[in-house]
């Protein structure tokens, strides 16, 4: 056990105050080091237990306390007299705390599996970082129902995304969501069977698998297993800014050894593979939907050099002053998730349901066993659409994008 009373960020970009095997804990920054995270990270060591130079392998952050408020040079981590672990910025403001006042806290320990633990005088855990996951899982760690992984904004901006991608465990299984109203699942691994789990549902990162314990619990076998390559070195799982869930492993440098959420449509299966209102084909070839009926361009590329940034509506979308409406009908185009709003209806009924709802962006129609009826989905937000071969999906699809034409209002 290691006791920490006072830790100040003063001289170094990296301050390794607690070190156990490949895990370390302290203040960490990247780039120009204008801001810092108090974090747990994986720092590779050489045979003499020295930290490998950053040019060879940067330490990998797997948990941080202050994603929403990076601190400046001179910040302080303090185990206070009231028995709280408190992070204060250089101006004295409190950025983060364990909220453990009155719990007889005795110290802080970084465990061998990368869990940062605050313990009491009886060596009992009163707070632990594993209860507050950020965007990563390390071997042995569980992600419980009620917790979620939320990615950073980008590889250089570690602030957590607000309302975009998340990975969550539910009483039905493991799901990844993209933020909308309501959230849309772009990945699902549902579990079916007899529910014998009397506790919290969870997934666990084990060597060789991401194991789902939804209806059962350890020591029973998992309900489902997502296979991961057996570890030959240290690994960790990270939910990426683009919604991918990747497994990284140290092999003289950090390599991606698995991409766990890829569906049968590959890169196109991700909600923002080509951005909003865009069409994804083949190996992530991005384009804007085009009307073949009248030759009018209703959508334009946000950036013609970066097609994956999506498309914008040339005609503004609002529910006021509607003059008329048009549609772009796209055959054999599907969506990453079809949540059925109307069952066993014909395509015209599906389209009219969208016409009659000014918040509706599109009508996605999935043909049933016969060609006269099917399922209808009316998304209020339109992310990346996908060209789909019926021989692969075993379903025919029609995606109708509703274009509302507006009467210009004269200024008075």
pLDDT of 20: 43
Are residues 251 and 292 both part of a single domain?
Answer: no
Instruction: Give the pLDDT band (50/70/90) at residue 3.
Output: very low
Residue 218 half-sphere exposure toward CB, CA atoms < 13 A: 9
pLDDT of residue 63: 97
Position 211 scores a pLDDT of 97
Which of 132, 151, 184 is the last residue before a domain boundary?
132
Q: For the segment 44-75, what is each residue's pLDDT rounded down to a tens digit? A: 655 444 555 544 567 899 999 999 999 999 99
Residue 242: inside a domain, yes or no?
yes
CATH for 24: 2.90.10.10
pLDDT value for 390: 66
- Helical spans, DSSP H, in 310-389: 347-355
Ramachandran bin of 247, using left for φ above 0, alpha for ψ from -120 to 50, beta for the remaining angles: beta
- In the chain, the number of structural domains is 3
Beta-strand (E) ranges in 315-390?
A: 322-331, 333-335, 342-345, 362-367, 374-377, 385-387
Q: Is the pLDDT reported for residue 327 higher than 90?
A: no
Task: Show the domain range for 206.
Answer: 134-261
* Summary mean pLDDT of the chain: 83
In this structure, are 17 and 140 located in the same domain?
A: no
Q: Give the integer Cα–Cα distance in Å for 168 and 166.
A: 6
More confident residue, 239 or 352: 239
Q: Range with the lowest mean pLDDT among 203-212, 319-328, 372-381?
A: 319-328
Residue 38 and residue 98 in one domain? yes
In a domain? residue 412:
no
Six-digit token string for 49: 């237990």
- Tell me whether residue 267 is in a domain: no
Rg (CA), the chain: 25
138 and 81 assigned to the same domain: no
39 and 148 in a single domain? The answer is no
Q: In degrees, to the nearest 5, what angle opens at C-alpha 303 toward C-alphas 299 and 309?
A: 85
Q: Which of 93-107, 150-164, 356-370 has the lowest mean pLDDT?
A: 356-370
Tens-place pLDDT, residues 131-187: 999 999 999 999 999 999 999 998 888 889 988 999 999 999 999 999 887 888 999
- 112-134 average pLDDT score: 94
């Amino acid at each position: 056990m290691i006791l920490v009373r006072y830790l100040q960020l003063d001289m170094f970009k990296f301050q390794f105050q607690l070190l156990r095997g490949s895990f370390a804990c302290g203040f960490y920054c990247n780039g120009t080091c204008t801001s810092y995270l108090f974090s747990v990270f994986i720092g590779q060591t050489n045979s003499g237990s020295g930290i490998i130079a950053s040019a060879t392998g940067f330490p990998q952050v797997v948990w941080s306390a202050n994603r929403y408020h990076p601190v400046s040079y001179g910040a302080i981590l303090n185990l206070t007299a009231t028995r709280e672990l408190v992070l204060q910025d250089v101006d004295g403001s409190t950025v983060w705390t364990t909220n453990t006042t009155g719990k007889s806290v005795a110290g802080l320990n970084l465990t061998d599996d990368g869990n940062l633990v605050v313990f009491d005088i009886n060596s009992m855990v009163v707070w632990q970082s594993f209860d507050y996951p950020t965007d990563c899982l390390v071997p042995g760690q569980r992600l419980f129902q009620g917790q979620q992984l939320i990615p950073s904004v980008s590889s250089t901006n570690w602030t957590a995304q607000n309302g975009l991608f998340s990975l969550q465990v539910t009483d039905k299984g493991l799901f990844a969501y993209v933020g909308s109203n309501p959230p849309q699942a772009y990945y699902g691994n549902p579990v079916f069977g007899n529910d014998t789990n009397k506790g919290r549902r969870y997934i666990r990162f084990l060597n060789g698998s991401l194991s789902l314990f939804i209806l059962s619990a350890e020591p029973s076998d998992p309900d489902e297993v997502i296979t991961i390559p057996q570890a030959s070195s240290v690994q960790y799982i990270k939910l990426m800014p683009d919604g991918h869930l990747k497994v990284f492993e140290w092999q003289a440098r950090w390599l991606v050894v698995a991409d766990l959420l890829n569906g049968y449509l590959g890169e196109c299966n991700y909600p923002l593979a080509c951005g909003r209102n865009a069409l994804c084909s083949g190996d992530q070839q991005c384009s804007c939907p085009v009307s073949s009926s009248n030759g009018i361009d209703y959508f334009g590329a946000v950036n013609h050099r970066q097609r994956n940034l999506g498309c914008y509506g040339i005609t503004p979308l609002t529910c006021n002053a509607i003059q008329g409406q048009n549609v772009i009908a796209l055959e054999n185009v599907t969506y990453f998730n079809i949540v059925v709003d109307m069952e066993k209806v014909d395509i015209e009924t599906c389209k009219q349901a969208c016409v009659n709802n000014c918040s509706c962006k599109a009508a996605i129609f999935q043909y049933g066993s016969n060609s006269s009826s099917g399922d209808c989905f009316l998304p209020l937000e339109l992310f990346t659409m996908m060209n789909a071969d019926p021989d692969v999906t075993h379903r025919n699809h029609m995606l109708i994008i509703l274009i509302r034409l507006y009467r210009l209002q004269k200024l008075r």
